[in-house]
Amino acid sequence: MKLRTWCIRSGQLLTKPVLVFAGFLVFLTIFNPATMQAEDDWGGITIRHENAPIQKVFQSIEKQSGYRFFYNETLLQGAVKVSLNLQNVSLQEALDACFRNQPLSYAIVDKTIIVKRRPEQQPVAPVPTAVSFTLPNKGKLIAVRGKVTSNNIPVAGASIMIKGTDNGASTDKDGIFTLSEVDEDAVLVVSSVSHQAREVRLNGQGFITIDLAQQSDNLDEAVVVAYNTTTVKRNTAAVTVVKGEQIQNLPNRSFDKSLQGLVPGLLVTGGTGQPGAPPSNFVLRGIATGAQPTNGESFRNPLIIIDGIPVTQDPPANTSASVLRITNPLAQLNPSDIESISVLKDASAVALYGSKASNGVLLVTTKKGKTGKTVFNFRHQTDVSSAIEGKIKMLSQEEYLALLFEAYRNNNPTLYSKDAAILTDLRKKFPIIVNSPGDTSFYEPSNWVDEYFKKAAVTVSNEISMSGGNERSNFYINLEYTKQDGVTPKTGYDRKSVRFNYEHRPTSWLKLGINTGLSYNIQQYASEGTNNFLKVIAISPLNPIRDMSGNLFYKFNWGLGGTGGSASPTPIAQTDLNINNSTAFRGINKLYGEARFKNFAFSSTLGVDFMLNEVKQKAHPLVSIGTTMGSLTEQPFRSANVISTNILRFNKSWNRIHDLNILVGQEAQIASSKYLTITRTNLSSNPNSDQLLTGTVSAAGGNTSKQTLLSYFSQLNYGLFERYYISGSLRSDGASNFGKNNRFGSYWSIGGGWIISDEPLLRRTNKWLNLLKVRGSMGPAGNSAAVTDMLRFDALQLRNYLNGVAVYPAAGNPGNPSIKWEQTFVWDAGLELRILKDRINITADIYTRKTKNLIAYDINAPLATGTQFFTGNVGDIKNKGIELSMASKIIAKGDFRWNINLNWSKNQNRLTKSFYPRTTITGTNLVNEVGSEYNSFYLRRWAGVNPDNGRPMWVDSTGKFSENYMAAKPEIVGKAQPDGFGAVTNSFGYKGIELSAAIYYQYGSKIYYNSNLQNDGSANNNDPYLNQTKSALDRWQKPGDIAANPRRLLNGQAITSTGTVLDEGTNASTRYLYDGDFIRLANVALAYSFQRGLIERLHLSSARIFIQGHNLATWTKYSGQDPENIGSSGFGSIIYPQQRSYTVGLNVSF
């Protein structure tokens, strides 16, 4: 109880000041005069020029706004001179006036105004405001006056054309236009630079308001990269950007799982379907570490950074089920708050993160407010889910008994020659109904699956946000509550979150801000350490759910997976009585400031990732096993990651030819965690208690850890003629978790890009060749995640010795102060191609990643060392692969559009060097062998069934079939990681209707799946009475039979006159190795955006409804539950199932 109180108080110490500060900033946001003036668009730019070159106007704007123009001198050759008389106007008004009637447009990226060619559009008549034209007499003519806005801000200089004519007008500085003598049913075509064109029918209206959506040139779109921002055109690195709206509506409730199929090279495998659980695979461009995630650790995962703060991905201690973790810290973050995710892959992209980046980096940027009127947004989503059953079909009670009788007879033909003897034994093992004296029968088969799994698990998510801003300030606030019910009883995930981002510019050279994300999470999960899902499916059909009086059976001795007839609790009783909860508070907060002076900018950031987690697990005495009489465990866990980053940037352009960007920075990080646990057993005196007040303390412990990291880094980016780009970076890291001789590591990268399509020789092709760019990079990055802060020390413990106390080496691996950083050298070459006015976009990458100093656990130590295992550097590994992606606008005609997006990734992994040429991984069927895939399956080859006697056979070392299991030689027979994977997405649109369908595919992997559902009656001598799949019916029965499965034997034994013969058909072999290939119809969505007329009548900005189906169909040869219900090492099982879900949602802005 004290532990729990301590943890709660610790959380309160941080929570209260954070909430008070957040509330204070909310108050400032709402009542700040700058915010209240957002709708009036506060201004401050004064320009008076008569017939001046446009460059001179640029200089005036630069001096007064602090923004910098970026352009090519040749681009301004066609610009006309400018006459302006503006007083105290906003930046946007000044820019719109400057670019009016120019063959140029602009885009704003951070503090840079990028000048570009104006997209081709319908000709605009150079007429003054309110000039009108007479149309042919086609009906009633009216005078029209209107206003053009964007996000409720007037758009000056917009073109309004009467469709089918050359007549029109343009808007004044207030966005107002006037047309006289217009057909009452005419269609107006409205367009403006940096906005999407619209067609609006008058329908007799004399006054009309038209709102235009923003539109930017994709090449000038901002891309978030390491400690910086660039554009698509300037970027020299392999980066994939995922927009927040692409994942917002998916039912995963966790952005990591939602990235499946969206990022070339990123392998995402669902793993368990438990609400709030992580994926089992989250690997970018192959395995590049030697650490084995035996408990689901994130060694192989990319580094994830949210608003500049590295966040923890590992769950609290002891909340893991083998290699399938239960709790996912990333599920504590609301995906709706995400603006974009930049996935950094190559050396040029990741080297600035040094020792943490060898597995790649994900940069998550949360939303900010935008200049304009304050916008409220309400979002609702309801999902209805059901479990995916896969191809598992179980035996009926009649089929089950037929196979069981056969197993009895084959086991001992003398003892069980008659059915009566078999029935007598079965009646001793299973519940029976006494109809009358001497007349008994088994219970009718119960439907355990229907009883245990819900037909419809409902998830409801509601959130409301407020955002807005002006040139001085912007803000974004979002409140969210999601309640997700699992498909089994007492499982689910509840999340309450708030996101508050605020930024203010007190002066033109200073920027201050805060990003805060807080969440409170409650997760209910299935019993840890027991596989209820296997029990539900495999329980003997002779075991009923309830007795004749309707009471639940709590335990069975047979047919439930117990060992040798020992009692095992039923899954329904266990779920009903036990408690498995995880409660977590999460706060990710950042304070930052930036000062700009001339060509320099200095920024400073302080970030905190704090998580307070409490796990409670109770095994009720009625369903406990052994003599414990129930148990109650509480585990408080606290982690805090504090990081400080200081960066100085220099930006300078000379004569619009040279562009130089230099960055130097320093970073310090402290990561600490504390874990406590206490377990009480013997709860018989108060079996219903869920507090640590009853029973006997049987176990208690804890651990405290702390790591520090000090880093210095720099980067240089240089551009020439807007065609040639080069980038170089250098970083030095010092980490406390390494020994003093290997504490520091240095990392570097060099990259370059060449925009071939901008060469003068190719300018004639610009009409169809929009972009041809090649880029490349190389350099090393590191990985320190697999090294704990205690590894540099030998763990010690106190032991009794000679009637005294002595210090003694603790059990487990000894320390290793000489362990080195894992270092991955990456080489990447990429091609980017855009043709036919961006209708076809292609990106291709080839890469090689070589990792040296692989870190491995449990290495066999020489006996002379006095220890059995140790942790150390063992060798090198290599990944090489190809990534392709294509986006194509197949049809874009009128109101109809059809787009296709597809990607494909292929990776090959090899262990190239090792001090131990072949190492088996303890407790698995995996091996690491030089020249083969890391973590390959290492099994004996199955040779089928001997048709003469029905015994199992394997391929021996000479290549012949043998009934001797030990004569077979294990060999590498496959791998868990796929050869290739990808996705294809089709999207269709017609006016406000959108339809999309996404298909995900994967091939070239294997799954090892032996869950006792096909056990030949042996079940490895544990419980031969488990039910079987219908494939068990294809078994050997008599000499000459050609069958898939061996003869049925009770406990795998055949008692003969010469002794007992053991069949070992269920031993590990390729019999249980399956293809993991599959194609999945991942998502189908239909959405409708309401037309502007209805929206305006309802006084809304936008309204959208959608429905979708997720995981609708899967095509696979895999005979198990689901090809994604696997661990990181490719082991399949019957676990918490993946779900098929149907969604309805609403998104309204006002």
At 1066-1111, the pLDDT tens digits run 999 999 999 999 999 999 999 999 988 888 888 888 999 999 999 9
CA dihedral 426, 432, 433, 435 (to 10 degrees): 30
Integer angstrom CA distances of residue 950 from 185, 403, 1042: 85, 15, 9
Domain holding 110: CATH number?
3.55.50.30
Distance in angstroms (rounded) separating the CA atoms of residues 625 and 568:
7
d(CA 452, CA 387): 11
Strands 228-231 and 222-225: antiparallel
What gap in Å lies between CA 472 and CA 1135, rounded to an integer? Answer: 53
**Could you give the CA distance from residue 192 to residue 162 in angstroms, rounded to a whole number?**
15
Q: Write the burial class of residue 554 (CB in 10 Å: 0-12 exposed, 13-18 middle, 19+ buried).
A: middle
pTM of the entire predicted model: 0.81
Evaluate whether residue 969 is within a structural domain: no
> Would strands 432-436 and 696-720 be described as parallel, antiparallel, or unpaired?
unpaired
Radius of gyration of the chain (CA): 34
Instruction: Give, for 47, the enclosing helix (H) or strand (E).
Output: strand 45-52
CA-to-CA separations, 551 to 68, 546, 569, 573, in angstroms, rounded: 77, 5, 15, 10
Q: 163, 194, 216: which is the final residue of a domain?
A: 216
- Answer yes or no: do 167 and 27 share one domain: no
Q: Are residues 713 and 828 in the same domain?
A: yes
**CA separation for the pair 838, 962 (Å, rounded):** 63
**What contacts 187, CB < 8 A, 6 or more positions away?**
162, 163, 164, 199, 200, 201, 202
Question: Where does a domain end: 216, 241, 272?
Answer: 216
d(CA 653, CA 509): 19
pLDDT reported for residue 226: 86
Is residue 57 within 8 A of residue 47, CB to CB? The reply is: yes
- Examine residue 129 and state whether it is found in any structural domain, yes or no: no
pLDDT of 1022 reads 66
Instruction: Say what the pLDDT of residue 152 is.
Output: 67
Q: For residues 852 and 791, state if they share a domain.
A: yes
Say which CATH number the domain at 191 has: 2.60.40.1120
Whether 668 and 582 share a structural domain: yes
Quote the CA–CA distance of 728 and 740 in Å, as a whole number: 29
Counting the structural domains of the chain, the total is 4
Phi, psi of 420 (to 5 degrees): -60, -40
Residue 901, number of CB atoms within 10 A of its CB: 18
Same domain, 149 and 98: no
Give the pLDDT of residue 338. Answer: 95
Residues 687 and 735 occupy one common structural domain = yes
Which amino acid belongs to residue 988?
Answer: F
Q: Which two tokens stand for residue 746?
A: 């240095």
Element at 11 (helix H, strand E): helix 2-31
pLDDT for the residue 316: 65
Please give the single-letter amino acid code of residue 581.
N
Residue count of the chain, please give it.
1150
Q: How far apart are CA 794 and CA 790, in angstroms?
A: 8
3-class secondary structure, 529: coil
Query: What is the H or E stretch that residue 968 is in?
Result: none
Pair (593, 505) in one structural domain: yes
Contact 394, 1011 (CB under 8 A): no
Question: Do 631 and 711 belong together in one domain?
Answer: yes
Structural domain that includes position 94: 38-117
**Structural domain contains residue 539:** no
CATH of residue 263: 2.40.170.20
C-alpha span between 679 and 702 (Å, rounded): 12
Q: Measure the CA dihedral 100/106/107/108, to 10°.
A: -80
Distance of CA 740 to the CA centre of its chain: 36
> Are residue 318 and residue 208 in the same domain, yes or no?
no
1087: Cα separation from own chain's centroid: 24
Quick check: 991 and 895 in contact, CB under 8 A?
yes
Tell the residue number behind the tokens 């117990």, with chain if given: 562
- Within 10 angstroms of residue 865's Cβ, the number of other Cβ atoms is 10
Residue 441 is which amino acid? S
Identify whether 442 is part of a domain.
no
- State the Cα–Cα distance between residues 1016 and 545, nearest whole angstrom: 25
Same domain assignment for residues 765 and 678: yes
CA distances from 300 to 101, 716, 735, 785 (A): 54, 29, 19, 9
Name every residue whose Cβ is closer than 8 Å to that of residue 548 and which is 6 or more positions away in sequence.
433
Handedness of CA 314, 319, 325, 328 (dihedral sign): negative
Instruction: Establish if 664 belongs to a structural domain.
Output: yes
Q: Which residues of the chain are modeled with pLDDT < 70?
A: 1-44, 73-74, 77, 109-110, 119-139, 151-152, 166, 193-194, 214-220, 294-296, 316-325, 528-531, 811-812, 1019-1022
Count CB-CB contacts under 10 A for residue 823: 21
Query: Is residue 225 exposed (0-12), middle (13-18) or buried (19+ Cβ within 10 Å)?
Result: buried
Residue indicated by tokens 């590191």: 782
Q: Are residues 470 and 500 in the same domain?
A: yes
Residue 639 lies in a domain: yes
DSSP 404: H
Query: Comparing C-alpha atoms, which of 325, 414, 413, 313 is closest to residue 359?
Result: 313
- Pairing label, strands 361-366, 303-306: parallel
Quote the crossing angle between the two packed helices 54-65 and 91-99, to the nearest 10°: 170
Distance, CA of 497 to CA of 89 (rounded, Å): 39
Contact 95, 537 (CB under 8 A): no
* Spatial separation of the C-alpha atoms in residues 832 and 278, rounded to whole Å: 33
- Taking alpha carbons only, the member of 208, 232, 123, 78 closest to residue 830 is 232
Q: Tokens for 1098?
A: 């309802």
744 within a domain of the structure (yes/no): yes
Distance of CA 106 to the CA centre of its chain: 34
Q: Which pLDDT does position 3 carry in this prediction?
A: 38
Q: Are 594 and 716 found together in one domain?
A: yes
Q: Tell me if 928 is assigned to some domain.
A: no
